[in-house]
Amino acid sequence: MICLKTKEEIELIRESALLVGKTLAEVGRHICPGVTTAYLDHIGEQFIRDNGGIPLCKGFEGFPSALCISVNDVVVHGIPSDSLFLREGDNVSVDCVVDLDGYVGDSAYTFPVGEISDDMKRLLTVTKESLYLGIEKCKAGNRIGDISAAVQSYCEKNGFSVVRELCGHGVGFKMHESPNVPNFGVKGTGPLLKEGMVIAIEPMICAGSKNVKFSKEDGWTCRTKDGKNAAHFEHTVAIGANGPEILSSFDFIEQ
Ligand code: MG
Ligand code: MG
């Protein structure tokens, strides 16, 4: 069932999503060659709790950390580790879900570590652009497939591939709600978008083939099968009366 949200509820989800945005920026300020992903997780968790939030990834189906931190060929769901040191030229996706006063925001950003290659810059740029192209389709009367097709066609046109196993989702009252929001699909298909829906759109895009594998050791880490880089950007978006309202924000990172 898709839970519609009132205007008041959407404002409370926005508060939560903005805390996510500020957390990503705070983590981003500490990203540099030589830091461990466990240190970044510690910074993020502290920041969330200092601001009255609860990091929802921690303990979710046994996930051990406050943030998902995914480096290079890890697409998503990387577990922060005190033996994983960032190196110049890496990319690192940070995915954060917060509960603030009972309302849930979800956003992710892929950061460069120091100077990155032109190929990696293009992967990050195209993935982020595809997110905004998906968001443009978040209008009442459109369908989920319109978002999916916009993301997929743009990424594939640019020579990249779209992960099939994972997708975006409804959000706001819980971390994962209906409907699913795939990053691939056909225009004009899927659930109808209605005013009051809140969804997380999150392209997970690969430089090489779309195939991924999940770690047998930890059950979480999702890597590209071919070992090539991946990127991941995510916003929490409401379907408003006048089109999309992006509730999370990258402004704290990019200002
Ligand atoms: Mg997320
Ligand atoms: Mg999400």
pLDDT tens profile 89-104: 999 999 999 999 999 9
What the block records as the tokens of 168 is: 């975006």
Rounded to two decimals, what is the model's pTM?
A: 0.98
Tell me, what's the pLDDT at 45?
A: 98
Tell me, what's the pLDDT at 25?
A: 98
Neighbours of ion ligand 2 (CB under 5 A): 106, 200, 202
Burial bucket for residue 199 (CB in 10 Å: 0-12, 13-18, 19+): buried
| Superfamily of structural domain 7-254 | Creatinase/methionine aminopeptidase superfamily (3.90.230.10)
Give me ligand 2 centre to Cα 171, in Å: 8
Tell me, what's the pLDDT at 255?
A: 85
The Cα 231–Cα 227 span in angstroms is 13
Ligand number nearest to the C-alpha of 109: 1
Give me ligand 1 centre to Cα 249, in Å: 13
The Cα 126–Cα 12 span in angstroms is 31
Secondary structure element (H or E) that encloses residue 50, with its range? helix 37-50
Give me ligand 1 centre to Cα 141, in Å: 25
Q: pLDDT tens across 17-53, in order? A: 999 999 999 999 999 999 999 999 999 999 999 999 9
Mean pLDDT, the chain, integer: 98
Count of CB atoms situated within 10 Å of the CB of 133 = 18
Closest by alpha carbon to 188, among 147, 133, 145, 148? 145
Give me ligand 1 centre to Cα 9, in Å: 20
Ligand number nearest to the C-alpha of 96: 1
Ligand number nearest to the C-alpha of 69: 1
What's the whole-number mean pLDDT along residues 112-140? 98
Residues whose CB falls within 8 Å of the CB of residue 55, separated by 6 or more in sequence, listed in order: 44, 45, 48, 49, 66, 67, 96, 97, 98
Q: pLDDT tens across 197-248, in order? A: 999 999 999 999 999 999 999 999 999 999 999 999 999 999 999 999 999 9
Give me ligand 1 centre to Cα 192, in Å: 23
* SS3 call for 231: strand
Give me ligand 1 centre to Cα 168, in Å: 8
Give me ligand 1 centre to Cα 96, in Å: 5
